[in-house]
Amino acid sequence: MPASALNVPTILFGGDYNPDQWPREVWDEDVRLMKEAGVNAVTVGVFAWSTLEPREGEFDFAWLDDVMDLMAKNNIGVILATPTASPPPWFTLSHPDGLPVTKDGVHYIHGSRDTYNPSAPSYRNAARIITRKLAERYAGHPALLMWHLHNEYGTISYGPHTDAEFRNWLIRKYSTLDNLNKVWNSRFWSQQYATWEEIFAPQATQYLPNPSAILDFKRFCADQLRVVLDDQIEIMREVSPNTPLTTNFMLPTWNHFNQWDFAADIDVVSIDHYLDSTTMDGEAHVAFASELARSFNNGQPWMVMEQGTTVIYDYAAGRVYPKAPGRMARNTLQYIAHGSNSSLFFQWRTPLTGAEFFHSGMIPHTGENTRAWREIVDLGHTLHQLAEVTNAPAHNSRTNTAKIAIVWEPDAWWSAETPAMPSNDVAFLPALREVHKALWLEGFAADFVQLGAPLEGYDLVLVPNFIAVSDAQAHNLTQFVRSGGHAAVWFFAGSTDENLNVRVGDTFTAAFADLLGIKVDEHWPLPTGEFRELSNQMSGFSWGESVATTTAITLATYRSADLKDKPAITRNTFGAGTATYVSTQIRGTELRALMREIVLNAGIDKTHPQAGDGLEIVRRFSGEHTYLFVLNHTDSSHTVSASGYELLTDTPITSQITVAPFGYAVLREDTPTR
């Protein structure tokens, strides 16, 4: 983690700082308050394009020079952003072709953010110019901590530029139209293409589109965002090669690019993660996001680039709720326990107006005499106490080790969102969150992996949802089990190849037929609200299947008349391992019971014998030390067996520690565990 090279405590603490949106006299006040809170890092310039380049080709860096110098003078590091996520108003007038067009042909203009077409040469050119200007001016600046490329990549556009680039992408993938026509089965509904020019991005049409084309378009859009990221990486590697690069991933509901692919070429993964629940679901979700981020970053320390301070975002209901006192700090410790080296917020100072004027801030509208500011100051103090957690050298800082891996594939998400599935209840993100939450509530840690990635090191691989599996991916999981690993695969998985072509054969889930030792001859989607009783006290929702075992044994059968006595959950011994199949959706406490059994079968231990039910106990590895984070998300106190040195109270612990309701402790362990 390059952060350790800075003359600052190693947990980065601060937030998005937009001095360009405030009068100069406020800046000094900012510095005073940053020092009061112990802020050591700020993210500058995320949306400053119109300030840096107020007219096309006219640049104004004076104010940013001031900011950089002020930060350097005050020993506050700057994560400097390229402002390319939001072109200035002049871009609309000089490059209307560079603006986004919707599926229905609506032309958007500026007035918000993210108003550009990533396939438009005019946009790419404008973005490269401002990126190079910034790089050239600030490379090597003493305040410069990191480059923050763009912001929350995620823009989709249709229109001629997109059509052209999509065609190029398809030519690269398929080489010939024959291949494409075959893979898309484009003769269906008379869509066979005779020339590449006949292919367009899948804009609005009469009725259902082609699912393989839709999936390819989602891949293309993701790759196109990668292209504009590459534009910036290339410039930075050339002009500012010694400063690390990041770009912030918006979690969890954005799926517009392939996180694994982005992570491979930046230096550190950072995430934006906003608490979205007033209940403990929020903490389950912090753990989910954290384990994702750690996994994207290959186990190395990662960063929280944005979280909210004292508000919870319920976008569906169109409102923000107050975050309970102390929760912000507890969530922050969760991120750090799972490998974050930062605690950054959106944003330093809440703006007085603008589209997010009631978003959160470290300094709220009502200023210093508020519980929000008091909690920020306290958090700064807490983080100072925890600094040693992050100061291991980068090469020795794999932050956690999980024996369970959950398969996260952008392709799986995109496939599940494709129209014309047998049931629109088939969903990716909710399935993964439910499985992860069940594990978390049971006290188990989990990584996320790609199905084609090396799986050695794991004891159990979970595939909660993945329709479109390639042969190589299927082979990889099969080899993993053959070599002694354990797998659990959920319904519908591997029913098609990677292009949403149903696999030919006598069973669905065909990619895993041998591995699972079953045949599935029929899907059995269930009406909303209906369920099917199983023989093991559980109930199945949303989906069922007509399953027959070949080599597997049956762990539970259906008891309903329609699927009477057919296997619902099976397990196959395969090579040196086992493969469990779950043919329906199990929920809540029943899913916890199922996961407990599956994990037990794989011989995996909890992170700590007492972990679970909201008592989160996480061990973070850092160089030669291990740190035990005990986070009590419940309203009862808990006494946990542990020994070491508690950092927040500066107290040695010999055998056990009591953690208050909603409290936490962090121990440098006497005997590091591996």
With respect to its own copies, which residue has the nearer C-beta, 315 or 384?
A: 315
Residue with tokens 């109270």: 649
Q: Which of 53, 152, 291, 545 is catalytic?
A: 152
Least separation, in Å, of the C-beta of 629 and its own copies? 26
Nearer to its own copies (CB atom), residue 157 or residue 390? 157
In order, the DSSP letters of 569-632 are EEEEEETTEEEEEE-SB--HHHHHHHHHHHHHHTTPPPSSTT-BTTEEEEEEEETTEEEEEEEE
Nearer to its own copies, 297 or 585 (CB): 585
The least distance separating its own copies from the CB of residue 172, rounded to whole angstroms, comes to 20
Report CA torsion sign: 526, 528, 530, 531: positive
Taking the C-alpha atoms of residue 74 and residue 650, their distance in angstroms, rounded to an integer, is: 29
Nearest CB to its own copies, comparing residues 14 and 88 = 88
Question: Nearest distance from residue 580's CB to its own copies, in Å?
Answer: 22
Q: Cβ 49 to its own copies, closest distance in Å?
A: 4
Q: Are 183 and 499 in contact (CB under 8 A)?
A: yes
The one catalytic residue in 53, 283, 291, 306 is 306
Phi-psi region of 377 (alpha: psi -120 to 50; beta: other; left: phi over 0): alpha
Geometric angle at alpha carbon 508, from 507 and 511, rounded to 5°: 95
β-strand pairing of 518-523 with 545-549: antiparallel
CB 513 within 8 A of CB 505: yes
User: Cα–Cα distance between 423 and 619 in angstroms, integer?
Assistant: 40
CB of 612 to its own copies, least distance (A): 25
- 152 catalytic per annotation: yes
Residue 522 CB burial class (10 angstroms; 0-12, 13-18, ≥19): exposed
Q: Smaller CB distance to its own copies: residue 363 or 438?
A: 363
Structure-block tokens of residue 543: 């989906």
DSSP 188-203: GGG---SSGGG-----
Distance in Å, CB of 633 to its own copies, minimum:
16
Token reading at 316: 């569906």
CB-CB contact of 615 with 663 (8 Å): no
Minimum Å gap between C-beta 245 and its own copies is: 21
Is 54:22 a contact under the CB 8 Å cutoff? no
- Contacts with 90 (C-beta within 8 Å, 6 or more apart), sequence order: 54, 55, 56
Nearer to its own copies, 242 or 369 (CB): 369
Cβ 505 to its own copies, closest distance in Å?
7
CA–CA gap between residue 191 and residue 18 (Å, rounded): 50
Min separation Cβ 330 and its own copies, Å: 16
The answer to whether the CB of 597 falls within 8 A of the CB of 571 is no
| Cα angle value 414/417/419 (rounded, 5°) | 125
CA dist., res. 584 & res. 655, Å (int): 44
Kindly tell me which of 265 and 357 has the beta carbon lying closer to its own copies: 357
- By C-beta, is 561 or 655 nearer to its own copies? 561
What residues act catalytically?
Answer: 152, 306
